[in-house]
Amino acid sequence: MPKTQKLEKKIESKLEKLSQLLNKINEAQVINSDDPETWDPDTLYNLVENLKDTLKLLEDQKGKQLDEFGEPIIVEEGICSLVDEYKSEEEA
């Protein structure tokens, strides 16, 4: 399987997860700054967790081990890096 097809599969999978998380994040829109009745702590804590998960999907996840240049080793590439790599492969 060509490298671009492998990248497409990874990107598609992560984008599907991202879409699900964004839907969950949108649920926090029920909170109205002018209406204390809508100030729900569970909704806010869920928002925090969903935002953290969203960042994990977008950003590279780095391990504690360092490479030969003293940089953390990437354990899992995020969507941003995968799309960059995909675009580079497409242009090559």
The pLDDT value recorded for residue 48 is: 97
Can you list the alpha helix ranges (DSSP code H) found in 27-71?
41-58
> What pTM value is reported for the model?
0.84
pLDDT(1) > 80: no
Residue among 25, 13, 1, 3 nearest 78 (CA): 13
* Dist CA 72 CA 66 (whole Å): 4
**What is the residue extent of each domain of the chain?**
3-91
User: CB of 77 within 8 A of CB of 62?
Assistant: no
Q: How far apart are CA 33 and CA 79, in angstroms?
A: 32
Dihedral over Cα of 20, 14, 67, 92: its sign: negative
What pLDDT does residue 26 have? 96
Q: In this model, does residue 78 exceed pLDDT 90?
A: yes
The tens digit of pLDDT for each residue in 16-71 reads 999 999 999 999 999 999 999 999 999 999 999 999 999 999 999 999 999 999 99
